[in-house]
Each structure stands twice: as structure tokens, then as C-alpha cells.
Homo-oligomer: A and B are copies of this chain.
Amino acid sequence: MYHFTALVTCLAILFYLFTGIQVSKARAAFGIKVPATAGHPDFERVFRVQMNTLEWMPIFLPSLWLFAIYISDPFAAVLGLIWIAGRVLYLTGYSQAAAKRGTGFAIQALAATILWAGALGAIVWRLLHQ
């Protein structure tokens, strides 16, 4: 079983839900009524945080689980926690200014890339040595 990876998956979903709640609050704060998704730069940056997190979910979650299955449950979970930490930094930075989103983005991109590359390497190794 992959209890640590399952736990980190729940935490990643919780963070992602939080980015959506921030969008609802920003709608109220800046008077952007649904179905509009634009109209005020401060709202649009909060909206982009949610959208960018959504964009990375299909990269992060499958890579996390393939890494857990092919390499290690606890190592996958640690990299998953680093991904979430990078995402939190990205959220706090981007909410302030577009220029402050770089560090958090780089951390989460690195964590996701390690998960993806590790999984890919282990899968190829298994295919060659089975």
C-alpha cells in the first residue's frame, strides 16, 4: 500500500480546493460576477493561480503515483510535499504581484520533474530487465 502518497494526494487536493475558494473571495472583493473570469488584474492573478494549479494536476498526480509504485512511497510523498510547498509560495507570491511568482513556480516544477523523470527511468528499466 501507498499510505504516504495517498495522504499527500489528499493534501494536494485540499490546497487546490483552497485556490478555488480564493477565486470566490476575489470575485466578491473585486466585483467580478460569474461567468466572467476577467475584469481586474488583482482578480485575474488569483484566478490564474487556481488555473495554473489545475494545469499542473495532470502532471503532478500521475507522476507522483508512478514514482510511488515504481520507486518508493515515502520518497514520492516527500517530493509531493515539496511540490505543495512550492505551490503555496507560488500562491502567496502571485497574489501580490505577477513578478513574485517565479520562486514558487520553479520549486514545484522541479519537484514534479523529479517525480516524472524518476518514474520514467524506473519504468524503462523495468521494461528492459523484466
Give residues in A with beta carbon < 8 Å to B.
1, 3-4, 6-7, 9-10, 13-14, 16-17, 20, 33-38, 41, 44-45, 47-48, 50, 54-55, 57-59, 61-63, 66, 69-70, 98, 101, 116, 119-120, 123-124, 126-127, 130
For this chain, the copies found in one complex come to 3
Structural contact, B120 and A34, CB atoms closer than 8 A:
no
Distance between Cα atoms of A38 and B3 in the complex (Å): 42
Contact of A16 among B34, B50, B59 (CB under 8 A): B59
Structural contact, B98 and A63, CB atoms closer than 8 A:
no
Structural contact, A50 and B61, CB atoms closer than 8 A:
no
Contact of A66 among B6, B33, B48, B50 (CB under 8 A): B6
Residue ID in chain B nearest A124 by CB atoms? B7
Contact of A33 among B9, B34, B59, B98 (CB under 8 A): B98
Residue ID in chain B nearest A99 by CB atoms? B34
The 6 closest A-B pairs by CB, nearest first: A57-B58, A35-B44, A35-B48, A10-B120, A6-B123, A35-B45
